[in-house]
Structures are given as structure tokens and as C-alpha cells.
Chain A
Amino acid sequence: MNNNLVAGLDVGSRSIELVVLEGGQLVDWARLPTTFDPLAQCQRLLKNLKARKLVATGYGRKLMQEKVTDREVITVTEIQAYALGAGQVCPEARTVLDIGGQDTKVIALDAEGRVTKFEMNDRCAAGTGKFLEFMAAALQIPLEEFGAFARQGDRRIQISSMCTVFAESEATSLMARGESAANIALGLHLAMVQRTAAMIRRVGGRVPLLFAGGVAHNPCVRALLEESLGHGLFVPPEPDLVGAWGAALYGRKKC
């Protein structure tokens, strides 16, 4: 075990990210899918980890605190972790948007990077990564290509329902009317972006805006969001690492 290392672990609904810091510098990171057994996946990630201190965030943070006994584990919420992570990857950011597997959150930050307000979707997965995943599967497009596929759409159709179940039936009736799959995909992205933009405006929507979380990889969501908000977004090179990074930074602060 190494006392100079601090690790952050973001146990999300779809993927788990590990970030290791030494003196504030990123020295290692790894990622695994969450699967149906998040504990086993976390244990795989922690197997050769030398850090004595681990900060867990994400929906599985309490599980880590209960089950990991070979080192000190503290927890921090995703909100705080993303705020701290944002301070690292984009210190000027005044708004952080994170769209993950099962939740979407928007965090307003002050000039010192402190959280002043936040919004999260409620229990339903409307407008989250899960929504895109579900719809990509319905249109038989691999999730990673879904955004690029949607960008091929040439007509903007309105999909009014954000409920995953209702949106699927809306998509089905559009298919039955002969609408192209790319246009339906584009419509689904538009619906999600409209909802997200409204959430961003509710917390004030100050710029610069950092877009983090897995959905930040999706080029269609990024482009439509920029269009809807009327300004650019800052997307870090590894947007899904921001939470784990922030968690590790929290551990440094608490040392």
C-alpha cells in the first residue's frame, strides 16, 4: 500500500471508472462495465491498486464503503465529485452537465468552483444514457455509433414523449409510416436535448459549460446541445473520468 496515492472510484449504473492520483497528478486510470455484479467488477479494478485511500462515488458508493475492508473508503456524492473533477479539467466552468447511464445532472458552480445549485432527473430514466441505449437497440444501431447515425438524418421530426416506453411506441409508429431510421434517431436525440437544455436553464446555464459523462461521447447530442444553447461546450478528452477524478481529488482534500 502506498500512502501517497489516492484513488477515486465512480461506480455508475453502466460503467465503473477508477482514477489514481499521486500528488495531484493522474498516474493511472481504468474502466470496466458495471454488469449485474458491480462488486465483482470493482474488486477486479481494485485488485492491484496500491492506494491506501479510496473515495467512492456514484450509485454504488455505499456498497464500496460496506464491502471494501482492506483500505480506507470514504464516499462523496456524484454532484460533489463532478464539481471537483470539473475544477480540474476545466477550472473556468460555471456549469457542469453530466449525462450518465441512469441519471442526468446539471451543477451550477461559483467562481471558486463550489456547488451553488443542482438539478437531477427523478427516478425515471427519461433523458439519460439509458434512453439512448434503449432507442439504439430498438433501431438496431450499436450504441457507440448511434450519434453519428442520427447526424445522417435530413428531416427534423418531433418526438414528444421523453418516457422511454412511450418514445419507443412513438418511434414504432413513425417507422410504420415509413420514416427513415436516421430521422427517427435524430428526433430522439432532439427530444433528449430539449429536455437537457431546459434543465440547464433551470440552474442558470452560465458558461463555460463542461459536458461530462458517457453521453458526452455522442456527437449528435453535442451538436444539438450547442445549437439549442447557442454556445459551445467544453468536452474533456475522457468525459467519463470526471467523476472518478473528482472523487480522488476529494480524497486529497480530506487527507
Chain B
Amino acid sequence: MPTPYDEMWEKLNLDLEAHEGLLTVLGKFYGDIYLSQEGRLQGTEYLDFVLSEVHGLRIKELQDAKAAGRKVIGAFCVFVPEELVLAADAVCVGLCAGAEVGSEAAEQVLPRNTCALIKSFVGFKLARLCPFIESCDLVVGETTCDGKKKAYEIFADYAPVYVMEIPQMKNACDRDLWKAEMLRFKAKIEEVTGQAITAVKLKEAIKLVNARRRMLRRLNRLRAAVPVPISGRDVLLVNQISFYDDPVRFTKKIDELCDELEAKVISGQGVAPLDAPRLMLSGCPMAVPNWKVPYIIESSGAVVVGEESCIGARNTRDLVDEGAETLDAMLDALVDRYMKIDCACFTPNAERLDHIVAMARDLQVAGVIHYGLSFCQPYAIESFKVGKALEAAKIPMLAIETDYSMEDVGQLKTRVEAFLEMVR
């Protein structure tokens, strides 16, 4: 079916036929998982709209921004300091990589036993199915794991890639490295955009991104109420959308959603029965449209009340200090904030264990589901320590390892149901 965006997609060199197929599948998937929910908030119309226009209107906005001389910078990781991108008047978009797309093409350049997320971003590019990647003037990679690190070398043959080196420990010399990387990135962004990053602009960008983080924190406080006023799936979607919608619009829309949620909390309305087990997710990020495990959990009668993940609490927990006045002090504030990220790529990474236990206690969950993507070594290995920390805190945990395919849904459902029978 022709759409008003066909010409734009063609210009972006998408494979139109396959792209139409992808959108059809996505639409159906979204309908089954999201639109079928009962008692959804009015404010989720925004989510539905953004999702339905994810490859349409949002891409049009990016093209318009480009036509007006702005640059589009894509990133895959919460380590990429978005503030610097925004301070250079560029648009920052999180590249999703949450669907099993183009895996055949990806497997021609990557080993089969590569994690689904890496295969997905390479697959999206090789199969010409992601208008975001095609809109990017720069794609920023990072060295969080060996898989990504090496995959960017291959990806660089197809897209303009820049890689940030992420420290793996948290000593003073690691902070020095990260500061140097922050400066190198600043210079790169200035070069790509032709704009100087000034103290005034950076201060504004810091406030903008902090405002979005604060809003997501507000959402996370409200969603934790008893009874739970919003499904975990919807909150995950809000977090996912935060990576690619315009930050000002997003914050405003989520503010409205939170107001509605607040009223619901005050009147004690829930989306799940009071006795529905409250669970927390922990582990690998779930990028759009990876809703598989939350859907399995919530369709089994539980409700997700927290995500200890990059697309979740990890991205919003820490704010950048807004007190700095000079450019250098602001850069230091950015360095300090980003060094607090407790990604499994760090060693040791005891903060993450503490955060998980504290979060599980705060949220009063019946249990934690640790989610790992197959072949994601950092999270797979760390799940052992997470299990021990939770066991010591007497919080049950179920570790799941899976990918984006649907063939193991039956087995996962059995495990999740058994876990719920156990924690009820």
C-alpha cells in the first residue's frame, strides 16, 4: 500500500517491499501486545502515535532538521553523552536493534553465535530497513563488549561510524581515560556539525536531558504504587521511546501521562489485580520492539514494576550536576555522571548488585527475572553474582537467556509460570 512516506523512504534507499513487510509485522505485534491491554491510560495514545509514526513522521522530522542544516547522530548505548550532541544543535537518536531482522545478511559478516542485538543492528543496515540509521550523519559506537567493539569495525564499511572507548574499571586513571574520550567526542561532534559547543549551550542541553531523566523517574515512582496503575510493558515502551523522540515533546507528553497516572494512584485504580505478583526485570536492554519477555510475564498474571536495565533505571538514576558554570566544569560533571553507570562491562561491578537489591526492596517485588541475551557474556556471567546477591537478600530470581526469536516462547512461559507459582 502506498504511504505518504514512500518517496522519503526511497530517497533513504530503504528496501521498500521488505520495509512494508516489517511495518506490517510490527503493527500486528504492537496490536497483540499493546492495544489488547485493558484499562490503558489516555496518555498512552501518545505512545501509540509515536510507534505508528516511528518510521514515518519522526523520520520526516529528522529529514526536515537535516534540510535546516542540523546533523543527526545515532547511538546504541547510554554511555554516549547526548548532552554534547544536543549542545551542538544536532539531533540524537537511539538506534533500536530490537528485532530479528536481516539476520541472514548479518550472518554473512558476523559469526552465528553473536548476540541478537548486534546481529540486529548490522541486519537492519544490510537489509536496508532502518530509516534512522540511513538518516544518521554519524553513528556512535562504544567498546562496552567485545562483540559490539568488533562489530563496529565491520559496520564501518556501511555507515559513518565513530567509536568511544568505555573504561572497564573505575579507578582514577579510568576516569582520566573517560574524560579524554569525552573531549575527543566533543571535538568530533563539533567537526561533524560545524558548531562550537559553548558553556551556554551545554548548560541548556544538560538541563534538557536531566529534565527528561527526572520525568522518567517520576513515572517510575508512580508506576510502583499498589495497586500497579500502569503495565510494565507500557513503561518499557515509554523508556524505549525516550531514546528517539524529541526530548522536549517527550518530556511534556510523559508529564501529562504522569498527571493522569497520579490521579489513578490517588483513586487506587490498578491495571492488575492486587494479588498479581510484582516482578522486576534486570539485565540486558530491551530495545524496540523487543517486548517478548515482558509480554510473557504479564500475560502469565504478573506485573512488571521496574527495569534494572539501560532502557530503564540505569539511564535515569543519575543526573548531571547542573551547578557548573564553566565549560570545563560542565564536562567534568558529565564525566562524573557517566562514570556512575553500572554496566556489566565494568569489573568489579558491585554497585550494580547493590542497586538491584535496593531496587527490588524499594519496589517490594515478589521476585526478579534476570534477562540475558544469548551470547552476551558480561550479563550472562554477572547473572551468577546477581543471583547470589538476591539469594542473600532472600529475593527469588529466575534467570532467562533468550534472543529475539519466538521459537522458545512456550518454554519461557513454562519457566515464568513456574516461577510465579513459586513466589505467589
Residues of chain A having any CB pair with chain B under 8 Å: 59, 76-80, 103, 114-118, 120, 122-123
Contacts and interface: CB of A to CB of B under 8 A. Distances in A.
A79 B398 CA distance: 13
A77 B411 contact: no
Name the prevailing secondary structure of the B interface residues: helix
B418 interface: yes
A118 B408 contact: no
Contacts of A122: 401-402, 408, 411
A80 B401 contact: no
B421 interface: yes
A117 B367 CA distance: 12
A241 to B, nearest CB: 20
B417 A123 contact: no
A116 B422 contact: yes
Nearest to B400: A122
Contacts of B402: 122
Interface of B: 396, 401-402, 407-408, 410-411, 414-415, 417-418, 421-422
Contacts of B421: 76-77, 79-80, 115
A78 B418 contact: yes
B333 to A, nearest CB: 44
20 contacts: A59-B410, A77-B418, A78-B414, A78-B418, A79-B414, A79-B415, A79-B418, A80-B422, A114-B422, A115-B421, A115-B422, A117-B396, A118-B422, A120-B411, A122-B401, A122-B402, A122-B408, A123-B407, A123-B408, A123-B411
B414 A59 contact: yes
A59 B415 CA distance: 11
A243 to B, nearest CB: 12
Contact of B417 (A77, A114, A116): A77
A147 B225 CA distance: 56
Q: Which of A59, A79, A103, A114 has the most CB of B within 10 A?
A: A79
A227 B69 CA distance: 73
B241 to A, nearest CB: 31
A59 B401 CA distance: 19
A120 B422 contact: no
B283 to A, nearest CB: 15
Contacts of A80: 418, 421-422
B17 to A, nearest CB: 31
Contacts of B422: 79-80, 114-116, 118
B255 to A, nearest CB: 41
Given A115-B421, A120-B411, A120-B414, 8 more contacts: A59-B410, A76-B421, A78-B414, A115-B422, A116-B396, A120-B415, A122-B408, A123-B408
Instruction: Report, nearest first, the 7 A-B pairs whose CB atoms are least far apart.
Output: A79-B418, A77-B418, A123-B408, A115-B422, A80-B421, A77-B417, A77-B414
Contacts of A77: 414, 417-418, 421
Contacts of B401: 122
Q: Which of B408, B417, B422 has the most CB of A within 10 A?
A: B422
A123 B407 CA distance: 8
A120 B415 CA distance: 8
Contacts of B396: 116-117
A118 B401 CA distance: 15
B302 to A, nearest CB: 14
Contacts of B418: 77-80, 115, 118
A104 to B, nearest CB: 12
B141 to A, nearest CB: 29
Nearest to A114: B422
B402 to A, nearest CB: 8
B288 to A, nearest CB: 24
Contacts of A76: 421
Contacts of B408: 122-123
A251 B411 CA distance: 23
B194 to A, nearest CB: 50
Nearest to A59: B410
Contacts of B407: 123
A127 to B, nearest CB: 14
A200 to B, nearest CB: 16
A103 B411 contact: yes
Contacts of A116: 396, 422
A239 to B, nearest CB: 20
Contacts of B417: 77
Contacts of B414: 59, 77-79, 120
